[in-house]
C-alpha cells in the first residue's frame, strides 16, 4: 500500500513498507523497499504481502523472493478483497468508505 492508503486504513497488526509511492509523475517504485522490510523482518519470517487489489503485492513478493526471503505469500485481491469479505480493518471508519478511497486511485 502507498503511505496514503495505509494511513487511511489497514489490516490490524500490519506494518507498511510501501512498494510504490504516488508522485506527480505517477507511481514509482520505492528504492528502499527491501531495506525497509529488512529492518523489521528476517529472511525466514512468514511474510504476507498486501496492497489495495493484489497487483503491487505480487510484484513485491517477487522482489522479496529474489532477495532471499523464504516464506512469502501475497494476499490475493488485497485490501479490497479483505473489505469485500466483511473483515474488519483497523480504525473506526466504515469499510466501504475506505474501499472507495482506495478504488479511485489509478
Tens of pLDDT, residue by residue, the chain (106 residues): 556 666 666 666 666 788 888 888 888 899 999 999 999 899 999 888 877 776 788 899 999 999 999 999 888 877 777 777 776 666 655 555 544 333 333 3
- What is the Cα Rg of the chain in Å? 13
Quote the pTM value. 0.72
Catalytic residue among 37, 51, 61, 72: 51
| Number of domains, the chain | 1
Expressed as residue numbers, the domain containing 87 is: 3-96
* 51 flagged as catalytic: yes
Closest Cα partner for 32 from 47, 17, 12, 15? 17
Domain of residue 73, CATH code: 3.40.250.10
> Does residue 101 fall inside a structural domain?
no
Q: Are 14 and 51 in contact (CB under 8 A)?
A: no
> Does residue 30 fall inside a structural domain?
yes
The confidence score (pLDDT) of residue 43 equals: 95
> Does residue 102 fall inside a structural domain?
no
Rounded Cα–Cα distance for residues 34 and 84 (Å): 29
Amino acid at each position: 500500500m502507498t503511505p496514503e492508503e495505509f494511513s487511511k486504513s489497514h489490516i490490524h497488526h500490519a506494518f507498511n513498507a510501501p512498494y510504490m509511492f504516488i508522485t506527480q509523475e505517477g507511481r514509482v517504485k520505492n528504492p528502499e523497499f527491501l531495506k525497509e522490510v529488512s529492518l523489521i523482518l528476517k529472511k525466514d519470517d512468514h511474510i504476507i504481502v498486501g496492497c489495495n487489489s493484489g497487483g503491487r503485492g505480487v510484484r513485491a513478493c517477487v522482489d522479496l523472493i529474489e532477495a532471499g526471503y523464504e516464506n512469502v505469500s501475497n494476499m490475493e485481491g488485497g485490501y479490497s478483497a479483505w473489505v469485500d469479505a466483511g473483515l474488519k480493518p483497523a480504525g473506526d471508519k466504515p469499510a466501504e468508505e475506505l474501499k472507495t478511497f482506495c478504488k479511485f486511485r489509478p
